[in-house]
Structure 1
């Protein structure tokens, strides 16, 4: 009997330790996922600048990012940016070289510079050759800056960026909308680093940010919008889907263009845990810390997050807005399989275009195909 009591006590202690460890892990994942926007990491060092054949090339350490096919951008710690072309040239087993195709005004990279790799190719509409004006949206969270690119005032495109990104990332899609003659709003929202700062700065994964994007729709309506297309990137796609299915917008929002969409937060969190080297079960441990009121408050969130409302695999039957999804088969953040599942459930309504690319890097991998696919689909489904 004494041995049994000792064993039982040991097992109880072990379970408590494991439970405490699991709770700490779940809380940590939830806090990381919703963390306030921090400074950019400048974790790449320019190893050399080559001049040959009238072109300049940067020599960089070989990483998964730097050797990936597709155009990209380097943002420099001392200011300025450099656009890099698609071709990757070997410089031994540990380094590569890429051709410089553009730089910010007056900027010249140097060996030893610290930089940050990014798929955000343009820093402003001006960099993409788009005339724009700065406006402010009076959002529930406060004054939210936005770029407006003028076109037909009856048809608007509203561009919504993702978690941890910036509005500049959506310019890749603004070019299509402008070509079709739409007026575009490139929006910010609370706690994205550009929009209003609210509370402790944490993201609510689209739950409250949606109200600031809703204010942008109101801005468009007051200025004559009769039809709206929502362009959503990653979490911005989750926001777009929620707005498109509000009853008051059923006749107004006529199309969705979604890049690397978050269609199910559970699968997204599991995928990101796997990418971080954690077991996929860690994602399940984190969910209560986001969705249960006392735990969410401990994470620092203003309220529990109803993330099941963002599960569009389960809600596929509710879809009634024509939707184009552009998604990379190598996306290790928002799984491609989820988009395929949604398309398979609603093939008459959802068009899926696959790219050999990572998360939100479809345009970068093949910008001509991305542009032509979106333009053709919008032209056929929505018109000019």
Structure 2
């Protein structure tokens, strides 16, 4: 009987280890191709209005401005209006399409909050530059302004840098020079090892190189705009970078403030018990185990717990977060704002992960603009 119990215990332990390894691998996976999981059910032309018919989902019926990216190339920007077309369909009005593209019924598409494909689409005049990072050259966009305050825009895990253009517009209107950067293993920056993310642990070095680029070219003050994992990178830089004195503000959208809580939330999102996420922690935090997952270095999760480290914050911070975010829940942002009301302002939106801008574009822009103007006198 004891032997049977021992065998059973070993099997359970092995199964738990295997599941933890699988979760760790999924979380740090190299950037993959976009998934086109929507089918365009029809196209309506009503005068000068074009509407696209889509299956009704939580995304497609959400008010706000979004983008459809199509498998055969091209995109269509969708306006705020949502019209019912029966129980299973909604119609979304088209407010812009990529040049030469015409949506067709049966097209496969991907729903996204990434609204602009290029800086030009966002009305920005950008030039391509290269940042020399410790692991190679990383492409970036530079949008010149007329003040000595620069904004550096940091995208999140699995998201391209185009997603940050939503924030670059505000920085540009205020006269800031912007750098829209890439970093290692994000699909655009240098590829290191197996191409896996270190959840900001190593990527921070590449963003620090971008700050150095800005300082050497006249930047006296730096504002970091961080989206999701980009926010985790921004917080590390604000507290430990040699350029810390130049970092005067953080604008964080859907910020990762505790990786363990994020892992648990995403297990729950996948309809698994959230506690199973804890099985992945040793595979990412232990030096030997992390190598077995293909991650280039161990990930110090304790350093990413900004609720525990709240007293270390010294930079004024604006957080914009969706109340419906099931990937990076808003409760961590609420906890940080509660601990540091002297430094942290939280603005809640009726939105999912990194979709606050999309859910209420004018409010997002006005909030960021007012906060920057008030705190930085730009």
Partner SS state of residue 290, structure 1: helix
Q: Does residue 177 of structure 1 match 2:145? A: no
Q: Does residue 168 of structure 1 match 2:142? A: no
* Deviation (angstroms), 1:247: 5.3
Partner SS state of residue 248, structure 1: coil
Partner SS state of residue 245, structure 1: helix
* 1:176-224 alpha-carbon deviations (Å, 9 max, x no partner): 1001100000000011111111111000000011111111001001100
Aligned to 1:219: 213
4+ aligned runs moved over 3 Å, structure 1 = none
* Deviation (angstroms), 1:112: 1.0
* Aligned equivalent of 2:357, options 353, 363, 372: 363
* Aligned equivalent of 2:118, options 108, 117, 124: 124
Larger-gyration structure (1/2): 1
* Deviation (angstroms), 1:246: 2.0
Partner SS state of residue 380, structure 1: helix
Aligned to 1:142: 136
* Aligned equivalent of 2:250, options 242, 252, 256: 256
Cα distance in 2, alignment partners of residues 16 and 253 from structure 1: 50
* Deviation (angstroms), 1:64: 1.8
Partner SS state of residue 263, structure 2: helix
Q: Does residue 202 of structure 1 match 2:218? A: no
* Deviation (angstroms), 1:11: 2.0
* Deviation (angstroms), 1:92: 1.6
* 1:327-383 alpha-carbon deviations (Å, 9 max, x no partner): 011110111000000000000100000001000000000010000000000000011
Partner SS state of residue 314, structure 1: coil
Aligned to 1:273: 267
Q: Does residue 49 of structure 1 match 2:43? A: yes
Aligned to 2:337: 343
Partner SS state of residue 138, structure 2: strand
Over 3 Å counting, the alpha-carbon distance change for 1:200 and 1:245 in structure 2 is same
Asked if the contact 2:56/2:90 (under 8 Å) is kept, the reply is yes
Aligned to 2:15: 21
Aligned to 1:241: 235
Aligned to 1:157: 151
* Deviation (angstroms), 1:153: 5.0
Q: Does residue 70 of structure 1 match 2:64? A: yes
* Deviation (angstroms), 1:87: 1.6
Partner SS state of residue 245, structure 2: coil
* Deviation (angstroms), 1:52: 0.8
Asked if the contact 2:226/2:250 (under 8 Å) is kept, the reply is yes
* Aligned equivalent of 1:133, options 127, 151, 166: 127
Cα distance in 1, alignment partners of residues 315 and 20 from structure 2: 35
Aligned residues: 378
* 1:227-269 alpha-carbon deviations (Å, 9 max, x no partner): 0000000000000000111252232000000000000001110
CA RMSD of aligned residues (A): 0.9
| Pairs within 5 Å for 1:254-333 | 254-333=248-327
* Deviation (angstroms), 1:293: 1.4
Return 5+ residue gaps in structure 1 as ranges.
Answer: 1-5
Cα distance in 1, alignment partners of residues 324 and 241 from structure 2: 35
| Pairs within 5 Å for 1:106-125 | 106-125=100-119
Cα distance in 2, alignment partners of residues 11 and 70 from structure 1: 56
Aligned to 1:59: 53
Cα distance in 2, alignment partners of residues 375 and 310 from structure 1: 27
User: TM-score, normalization: structure 2?
Assistant: 0.98
Partner SS state of residue 282, structure 1: helix
Cα distance in 2, alignment partners of residues 120 and 139 from structure 1: 26
Asked if the contact 1:153/1:224 (under 8 Å) is kept, the reply is no
* Deviation (angstroms), 1:9: 2.4
Aligned to 1:3: none
Q: Does residue 375 of structure 1 match 2:369? A: yes
